[in-house]
Every structure is written in structure tokens, then in C-alpha cells.
């Protein structure tokens, strides 16, 4: 079932199944630094609605009901489960298969836009994204089971059912890495090394009014140099672009030998504050395309 506001607040004090994927570096949307900021209370609350997440929550129960036709009767929304081998991990499992207690992790994929389905292989296999494999292991470890079922509603494919078997090596790695993260980063309040938070996460970091931080002069120097390099490169780009446009004369396109062609065609421009209109966009087209 969708996670409640209370559960979201409680999650700040422990590691959930999706958090494990971030710690192991296989979550494309969050990394270990993002998670560190979240667990140490350094982020402001993000109340923005995420259509994909909301839709996934709303469709979770229908996906589980469809999956029950193949898996049998399901217990939907079992209680939060604490992992015996690593109590800091607590999972909110979508469902359990009645009679076996095998966990079920429901997913949706590619419902709103064309997407790469390569991570979702042949139905009936364990060919699912790495982050899902890690999530499944968190559920299997918490419930003491050896398989986790993954029903997925995939755009243009419909409902597909996968089964992930438990790997003892991955299970051991999860316990090791989660314990290390909790002790070395969260409890010690020390950021992970050799990784930076995502840009969207940085904007959510809490700022203390009047607080002044000590920042390495070397870092500031690199920032200033990068700004200067960008400015110089941008000026050079604009100068060469102006020269190229002038070389087109009254033409809309030009051939450029082995490089193909350059075009300067009109294209629609969406009107927001200004009225709708057209604008030209200089585009390089490689030869043969």
C-alpha cells in the first residue's frame, strides 16, 4: 500500500528497501549522499507532487490484484518488518503470498512516456533493474524468504511477472554496507566521500540564517576558473556562430563536405510571456543523416 505521511516521517530513523538501493549505488534518482542528507535531517520537506510516484501508488493495489491471479491470494500491506540481521533496516512490503509469505514488490514502468525497457527482460525471469533486485533482497531478508515476486505494469506490454531469487552474497553485502553507512555517515554525521548530491537535492538543503562556513580556497578558485572558462568559450562560440550565419548569406542551409550540412531553418517558438512566433535554430547535421 502507498506509504503514509507517518511512515515517511518514521523512515528518517531507519533504512527502507529503496534506501538500500541508494546505498549500493544502483538507484538512478538518489545516491548515498542524498540519503545521508535525508537521514540526518538536513533537507527541507519536499511537498511537490510527483505524478509518476502518485500514479505508481494509486496503481499499486490494482497491480497486486492482477498478480494474484497468478500468485494466488495475497496479504496486501502487511505490517512493517524489521530485519533480524540488521535491525536498522525496516521494510514496508507491498504484499505477501498467503501460505508461503513470499514478499511481492509491485511496480509500474513507462506509463507516461516512451522509455527504455531493456532493464525489464523476459517475463518469468529475474531480469529486472538492479535497484529492484536490491529492494527485493531487503524484503526477502526481512521476511526470511528465498524468492520475491515482482509484478510490473509496463506501458505497451501490460502486466509482466518476474521472480527474483535470493543471493547470499548480495544479502551479506547489504548488511555490511548499510551498517557501515549508518555508523560512519549517519551516526557520525559525516558526508560520504567521493560522491556529490544531486543538484535538485542541494536546493533542498536547510540553510541556517547567519551561518558562515569555511570553504577551501582551492574549491572557490576552481569555481572562478570554470566560470571564466565558460565565459571565454561562450564568447568564442557566439563569434564563430555569427561568422557562420554570415557565411550562409541568404541561404537557409549549407553543405560542408564530410561534415554533412548546416541548417538555419525556422522553427515554432512557444509563447509564454511573449506571443507565439518563430525563431531560427542553427543545427549541425552529420553527413549521412
- In terms of phi and psi (left: phi > 0; alpha: psi -120 to 50; beta: otherwise), the region of 265 is beta
- How far, in Å, CA of 232 to CA of 126, rounded? 51
* Mean local confidence (pLDDT), 154-165: 92
Domain ranges of the chain: 5-202, 219-285
Q: What is the grid cell recorded at 31?
A: 545516491
CA angle in degrees (0–180, nearest 5) for 284-288-289? 55
The Cβ of residue 227 has, within 10 Å, a number of other Cβ atoms equal to 10
Inform me whether the pLDDT recorded for 4 exceeds 90: no
* Mean local confidence (pLDDT), 271-287: 64
pTM of the model: 0.77
Which pLDDT does position 1 carry in this prediction?
47
CATH of domain 5-202: 3.90.320.10
Do 83 and 76 touch, CB atoms closer than 8 A?
Answer: no
pLDDT in tens, 5-56: 555 566 678 999 999 999 999 999 999 999 999 999 999 876 555 656 666 6
Inform me whether the pLDDT recorded for 2 exceeds 60: no
**Among 162, 69, 81, which Cα is nearest to 123's?**
162
* Mean local confidence (pLDDT), 226-246: 95
- How far, in Å, CA of 92 to CA of 38, rounded? 18
Distance of CA 67 to the CA centre of its chain: 25
Which pLDDT does position 121 carry in this prediction?
92
Expressed in angstroms, the distance from the first to the final Cα of the chain is: 48
Inform me whether the pLDDT recorded for 116 exceeds 80: no
pLDDT in tens, 240-258: 999 999 999 999 999 999 9
Inform me whether the pLDDT recorded for 282 exceeds 70: no
* Mean local confidence (pLDDT), 140-156: 95
Q: What is the grid cell recorded at 101?
A: 509469505
CA distances to 223, 234, 240 from 229, rounded to whole Å, are 10, 8, 16
Amino acid at each position: 500500500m502507498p506509504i503514509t505521511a507517518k511512515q515517511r516521517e518514521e523512515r528518517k530513523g531507519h533504512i527502507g528497501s529503496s534506501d538500500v538501493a541508494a546505498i549500493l549505488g544502483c538507484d538512478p534518482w538518489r545516491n548515498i549522499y542524498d540519503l545521508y542528507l535525508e537521514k540526518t535531517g538536513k533537507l527541507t520537506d519536499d511537498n511537490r507532487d510527483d505524478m509518476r510516484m502518485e500514479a505508481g501508488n494509486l496503481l499499486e493495489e490494482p497491480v497486486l490484484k492482477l498478480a494474484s491471479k497468478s500468485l494466488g491470494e495475497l496479504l496486501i500491506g502487511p505490517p512493517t518488518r524489521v530485519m533480524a540481521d540488521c535491525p536498522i533496516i525496516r521494510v514496508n512490503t507491498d504484499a505477501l503470498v498467503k501460505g508461503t509469505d513470499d514478499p511481492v514488490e509491485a511496480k509500474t514502468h513507462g506509463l507516461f512516456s516512451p522509455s527504455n525497457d531493456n532493464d525489464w527482460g523476459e517475463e518469468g525471469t529475474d531480469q529486472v533493474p538492479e535497484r529492484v533486485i536490491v529492494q527485493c533482497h531487503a524484503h526477502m531478508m526481512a521476511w526470511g524468504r528465498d524468492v520475491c515476486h515482482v509484478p510490473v505494469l509496463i506501458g505497451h506490454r501490460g502486466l509482466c511477472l518476474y521472480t527474483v531469487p535470493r543471493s547470499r552474497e548480495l544479502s551479506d553485502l547489504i548488511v555490511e554496507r548499510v551498517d557501515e553507512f549508518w555508523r560512519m555517515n549517519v551516526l557520525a554525521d559525516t558526508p560520504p566521500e567521493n560522491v556529490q548530491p544531486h543538484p535538485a537535492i542541494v536546493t533542498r538543503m536547510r540553510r541556517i540564517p547567519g551561518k558562515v562556513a569555511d570553504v577551501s580556497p582551492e574549491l572557490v578558485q576552481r569555481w572562478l576558473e570554470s566560470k571564466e572558462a565558460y565565459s571565454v568559450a561562450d564568447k568564442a562560440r557566439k563569434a564563430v556562430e555569427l561568422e557562420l550565419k554570415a557565411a550562409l548569406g541568404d541561404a537557409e542551409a549549407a553543405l560542408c563536405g564530410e561534415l554533412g550540412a548546416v541548417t538555419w531553418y525556422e522553427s515554432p517558438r512557444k509563447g509564454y510571456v511573449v506571443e507565439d512566433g518563430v525563431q531560427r535554430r542553427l543545427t549541425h547535421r552529420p553527413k549521412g543523416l
